[in-house]
């Protein structure tokens, strides 16, 4: 089983939640390290970039997924594709209890962002208002 931290369209009630077959860990979590969150391209896709200088502790949810569920998430996030997300392990913290755990997260790189069509820079959370702008791949 794998812990996965999601901050965008894979959250409960968001556009790609149907792909996320995991079981949610109760509560809200935040990243220990700092990240910058962007909406990118005409699809308004959320991208999270490591940014220890100007970033925020990003809010999200943690899910426990099995091997097959992780493969589905990797496919959605195009892991392994040069334009896709990178799956890495980070530490997240429960916002109410300060409990820490390691979880996978899907990130983009600074190099990918340098060539991206940034639509909006966000702070620490991807909201339902942001999700209304999102367009799924055809």
pLDDT tens digit sequence for 92-115: 999 999 899 999 999 999 999 998
Cα 128 to Cα 5: distance, rounded to the nearest angstrom: 18
- Domains of the chain (ranges; CATH) run 2-131 (3.10.490.10)
Q: Which two tokens stand for residue 55?
A: 């970033």
Whole-number average pLDDT of the chain: 95
For the chain, helix, strand, coil in percent to 5 are 15, 40, 45
12: number of Cβ within 10 Å: 10
* Residue 101 contacts residue 32 (beta carbons within 8 Å): no
pLDDT tens digit sequence for 44-73: 999 999 999 999 999 999 999 999 999 999
Report whether pLDDT(7) > 80: yes
Q: Considering the entire predicted model, what is its pTM? A: 0.94
Give residue 98's pLDDT.
Answer: 84
């Amino acid at each position: 089983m794998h812990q996965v931290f999601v901050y965008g369209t894979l959250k409960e009630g968001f556009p790609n939640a149907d792909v996320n077959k995991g079981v949610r860990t109760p509560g809200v979590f935040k990243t220990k390290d700092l990240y910058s969150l962007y909406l990118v391209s005409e699809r308004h896709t959320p991208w999270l970039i490591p940014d220890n200088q100007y970033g925020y502790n990003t809010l999200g949810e943690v899910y426990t997924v099995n091997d097959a569920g992780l493969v589905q998430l990797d496919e959605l996030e195009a892991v392994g594709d040069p334009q896709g997300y990178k799956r890495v392990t980070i530490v997240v913290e429960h916002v109410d209890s300060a409990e820490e755990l390691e979880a996978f997260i899907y990130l983009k790189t600074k190099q990918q962002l340098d060539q991206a069509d940034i639509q909006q820079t966000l702070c620490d959370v991807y909201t339902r208002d942001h999700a209304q702008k999102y367009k799924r791949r055809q």
